[in-house]
Amino acid sequence: MVESARARIVVSTENAEETIALGERLGALLGVGDVVALTGDLGAGKTTLVKGIAAGMGITADICSPTFTLIREHSGEVPLYHVDLYRLSGIVEVDTIGVEEYIYGSGVTIIEWADRMQSLLPAERLDVELRIEGETRRRIVLTTRSPRLRAAIEGLGRDADTGD
């Protein structure tokens, strides 16, 4: 089997508003069945990015970190499933919350702390890694092997395939 090429885009944002704006542009490009896997430390801006993505999908509901539920569903023309695995105690629990049902469902699924269910993530996904570089500066790396998502993220930032 030929593995499709990986696309990698790097964006730096200088404040939360810029991260929201990036999310909005990304959200407008996402569609049914897309899975976005977010990683990065606490406070890196994962939930902030989800806010932008929701706005870009035309969803006006308040996006916050699901506290007691691991998954929040927001209805829209295309529904958004917001998963946050921060409070997850182990991979066994992931199995029991039925994330797969969402991932293979009829909306966009965004997973915070996606590394906690790494082995269960679909191969066709968009990985977004957020890194704190300063008080309000974040380095955001988007990676995908999906041809469809690769086309979608082109133009969001600089192509970092050749350098870093």
Contact residues toward Mg ion (CB under 5 A) are 46-47, 65, 112
Q: Would you count residue 53 as binding ligand ADP (CB under 6 A)?
A: no
The two three-digit tokens of residue 104, written as one number = 């293979």
Q: Would you count residue 116 as binding ligand ADP (CB under 6 A)?
A: no
Cα–Cα distance measured from residue 85 to residue 53, given in angstroms and rounded to the nearest whole number: 18
Q: What is the DSSP letter of 34?
A: -
The pairing of beta strand 126-132 with beta strand 35-39 = parallel
Q: Would you count residue 138 as binding ligand ADP (CB under 6 A)?
A: yes
The two three-digit tokens of residue 100, written as one number = 């797969």
Q: Would you count residue 124 as binding ligand ADP (CB under 6 A)?
A: no
Residue 123: which of Mg ion, ligand ADP, none does it interact with, CB under 5 to 8 A by kind?
none
Instruction: Give me the least distance between CB of 123 and ligand ADP, in Å please.
Output: 24
Cα–Cα distance measured from residue 78 to residue 156, given in angstroms and rounded to the nearest whole number: 21
42 backbone dihedrals φ, ψ, rounded to 5°: -60, 130
Using Cβ positions, the residue closest to ligand ADP within the complex turns out to be 45
Q: Would you count residue 47 as binding ligand ADP (CB under 6 A)?
A: yes
Site size with ligand ADP, rule: CB under 6 A: 16
Q: Which residues contact 9 (CB under 8 A, 6 or more apart)?
A: 141, 142, 143, 153, 154, 156, 157, 158, 159, 160
Site string for ligand ADP, 65-104 (x = CB under 6 A): ----------------------------------------
List interacting residues with ligand ADP (CB under 6 A). 13, 15-16, 18-19, 40, 42-48, 112, 136, 138
